[in-house]
Amino acid sequence: MRSRFSLAGALVAALLSAACASRPETGFLSPVAGLDAGATDHTILVATTRKRDDRPGTLFNGERAEPLDYAKIEISVPATHKAGEIEWASTAPGNPKTDFVVRQATYLDGEKEFVRSLNVQLATRPRGSRKVLIFIHGYNTMFAEGLYRFAQVVHDSKAPAVPVLFTWASRGQLTQYVYDTNSATTARDDLERTIRLVFASDAEQVNILAHSMGNWVTVEALRQIKISGQLPQMSKLGSIFLAAPDIDIDVFKSQMRRFGKPRKPFYIVLSKDDQALRASSFIAGGTSRLGADGDTEELAALGAVVIDMTDVKATDSSNHGKFAQLAEIAPQLASVLEKGVAAKADAAAGAQTAVGDTLGAIVGLPVMILGAPIKIIAGR
């Protein structure tokens, strides 16, 4: 018992040290004038169960609200941006030459205006490229943190998709794990509604990326859609990435049994050294979390493709945010996944002779992508 509490204390201390810098609770979303000419802008649409916040430069806080609320926010990423990082301002609202800043921010009046804004963004893409990427953040995430993290992923991946952030009411505090869990659970119906709205838009493909506790609400929403029998145009469904999923492994197996083996695999991004998920496992009575599960073959048998980032050096001390580093190699990774990862033995042998940093070179099962220590495990 004493050793278990020592482990929990060590994990919490590690998480606290990672979060010791000042958090962007207020002021960091105030629109900034005089933007730098070398910066890149990204327009992000927001659907949220958070309560609006009247404090300048805040928009939404961590309290729950209903019905669903919406916003449209234009983010500027500086020319000096380093892949995988968020250049946070030392003081709000930030300097566009060096920091992530907001250019414009407006609330949207209900779901009709949300869908109208989404269709306007889609219309700027040529036919055949009208895609949407929905991002659902995790535990201990303030609104500005989820927004800027998504902007970083969109920017680094050079994703042509229209970005839609679904942000549930996390209080952004380490001590609020139970509140966040309940907030995520409460948001299931709202995420289902958001997914259905996006599918009913002019989008030709809908992709989903969830992180940490956001995976729980995501898989639950998808399960609800499946159970309802009222399926959206599933031909529009693209890739579903579950990054560092904070889900009890047995719960996930139960969810997948109800969902059934998907036509397209779920991509599970995990790392066996994820300290945040170790803490979550301790809180949950020692049960294994999906994002730190060691039985990758079993996950593959459920219809998932496992992207194991254990050997990747993280940019955060808890090893919980490695998924953000994938964005930089997203085009090459997507190419490998689309071709399939079940390489035959002879193809694997040929790949051994690949030279340089070619990400497309596949080496056996589990697959190694040269140039990045990432293993990909698929069902046979």
CATH code of the domain covering residue 220:
3.40.50
Query: Is 163 within the bounds of a domain?
Result: yes
For helices 2-18 and 275-283, what crossing angle results, to 10°? 140
Query: Is 337 within the bounds of a domain?
Result: no
Beta bridge partners of 64: 50
- Residue 184 burial by CB count (10 A; 0-12/13-18/19+): exposed, middle or buried? buried
Query: Is 71 within the bounds of a domain?
Result: yes
Query: Is 374 within the bounds of a domain?
Result: no
- pTM of this prediction? 0.85
Query: Is 103 within the bounds of a domain?
Result: yes
Query: Is 257 within the bounds of a domain?
Result: yes
Number of separate domains in the chain: 1
Please give the chain's pLDDT, 380 residues, in tens: 444 434 444 444 444 444 445 789 999 999 998 778 889 999 999 999 999 999 999 999 999 999 999 999 999 999 999 988 999 999 999 999 999 999 999 999 999 999 999 999 999 999 999 999 999 999 999 999 999 999 999 999 988 899 999 999 999 998 999 999 999 999 999 999 999 999 999 999 999 999 999 999 999 999 899 888 887 787 899 889 998 888 888 888 887 777 776 677 788 888 887 777 777 766 666 666 776 665 667 777 777 888 888 778 877 777 777 878 877 777 667 766 766 544 433 333 333 323 233 333 332 344 455 456 787 777 65
Query: Is 379 within the bounds of a domain?
Result: no
Query: Is 34 within the bounds of a domain?
Result: yes
Structure tokens at 366: 């589990």
Residue 78: give the domain boundaries: 2-328
